[in-house]
């Protein structure tokens, strides 16, 4: 009797999340001097910082630079809809980037925001944690990529596949569709109503809600760790090569340290950069009551 052979079991390969990068590409003439008259500045940022950071975070990057004869607008819209995450560089406050960010937000899909710190971000986009990176040529490439990669992983793990705006301010109530709209249109209409109400919220009330939602982990951790080591602000400033004013702004949450400054602060406090920027799993730096 012939022996029966078992059929090989096919295993579906694990799906790797994708990340679509949206970023300025060309440099406006009035900003040329700011970026050292390098017309390809943001192409360098895309190729040397943003795409490698996505790969370092374990995602498949999709570049915003399009070649060939494809319909660019259609391809961008498809990537905005399909990507597991969108990494948006808000540097120069580029209109196309904000337009694409608005589309992604309307789709209630997660975004991860970065910028080079030159321009003050609009208040509305400030509701989402935005990582400031050190731009070329003064940047430390390995530190910059590692910090953005951590920011990407942290964002992806905390979004629950939703956009931060809808996650914190959206409605969890079932949608009423008796108006004649289909479910998808009714959902979009409800979200537009919620955004309208949010924009009508007073600035002071919104700041309080955001402070409660996003917390001040880094500021609390810095003060707690500095006090544990018996340091004053002047001591920490001296050891990290910064000024007392900078330390004060970081500890009150008014400023976010650049990656290179975060590294210096972490060394002075004898903690890792990961813990300083994003916190250790399960760690709560809040003062004990």
Does residue 117 have a pLDDT over 80?
yes
pLDDT at 205: 56
- pLDDT of 22 > 70? The answer is yes
129 class by beta-carbon count within 10 Å (0-12 exposed, 13-18 middle, 19+ buried) = middle
For residues 84-95, give the mean pLDDT. 92
Residues counted in the chain: 289
Domains and CATH numbers, the chain: 18-158 (3.40.50.450), 170-212 (no CATH), 215-278 (1.10.260.40)
pLDDT, tens digit, 9 for 90 and up, residues 69-88:
556 778 888 899 999 999 99
Angle at 223 between CA 218 and CA 228, to 5 degrees: 125
CB atoms within 10 A of CB 259: 24
Quick check: 135 pLDDT over 60? yes
Per mean pLDDT, which range of 106-110, 160-164, 196-200, 270-274 is the poorest?
196-200
pTM metric for this prediction: 0.56
Give the residue, 123 or 245, on which the prediction is more confident: 245
pLDDT band with cut points at 50, 70 and 90 for residue 59: very high
pLDDT at 20 over 70: yes
- CB burial readout 154-177, b (16+ within 10 A) else e: bbbeebeeebbbbbbbbeeeebee
| pLDDT per residue as tens digits for the range 238-261 | 999 999 888 888 887 777 788 888
- Give CA–CA dist 97/102, Å, rounded: 9
């Amino acid at each position: 009797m012939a022996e029966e052979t078992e059929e090989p079991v096919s295993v579906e390969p694990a799906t790797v999340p994708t990340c679509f990068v949206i970023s300025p590409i060309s440099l406006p003439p009035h900003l040329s001097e700011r970026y050292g008259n390098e017309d390809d500045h943001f192409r360098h940022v895309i190729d040397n910082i943003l795409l490698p950071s996505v790969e370092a975070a374990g995602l498949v990057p999709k570049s915003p630079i399009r070649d060939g004869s494809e319909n660019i607008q259609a391809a961008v819209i498809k990537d905005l809809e399909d990507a597991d995450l969108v990494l948006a560089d808000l540097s120069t406050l580029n209109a196309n980037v904000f337009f694409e960010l608005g589309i992604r937000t309307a789709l209630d899909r997660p975004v991860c925001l970065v910028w080079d710190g030159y321009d003050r971000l609009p208040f509305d986009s400030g509701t989402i944690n935005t990582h400031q990176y050190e731009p070329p040529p003064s940047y430390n490439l390995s530190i910059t990529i590692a910090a953005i990669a951590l920011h990407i992983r942290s964002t992806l793990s905390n979004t629950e596949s939703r956009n931060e705006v809808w996650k914190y301010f959206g409605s969890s109530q079932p949608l009423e569709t008796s108006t004649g709209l289909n479910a998808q249109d009714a959902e979009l209409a409800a979200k537009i109503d919620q955004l309208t109400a949010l924009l009508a919220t007073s600035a002071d009330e919104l700041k309080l809600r955001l402070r409660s939602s996003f917390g001040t982990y880094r500021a609390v951790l810095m003060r707690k760790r500095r006090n544990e080591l018996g340091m004053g602000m002047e001591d920490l400033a001296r050891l990290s090569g910064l000024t007392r004013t900078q330390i004060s702004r970081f500890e009150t949450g008014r400023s976010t340290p650049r990656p290179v400054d975060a590294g210096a602060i972490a060394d002075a406090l004898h903690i890792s950069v990961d813990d300083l920027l994003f916190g250790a799993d399960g760690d709560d730096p809040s003062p004990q009551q």
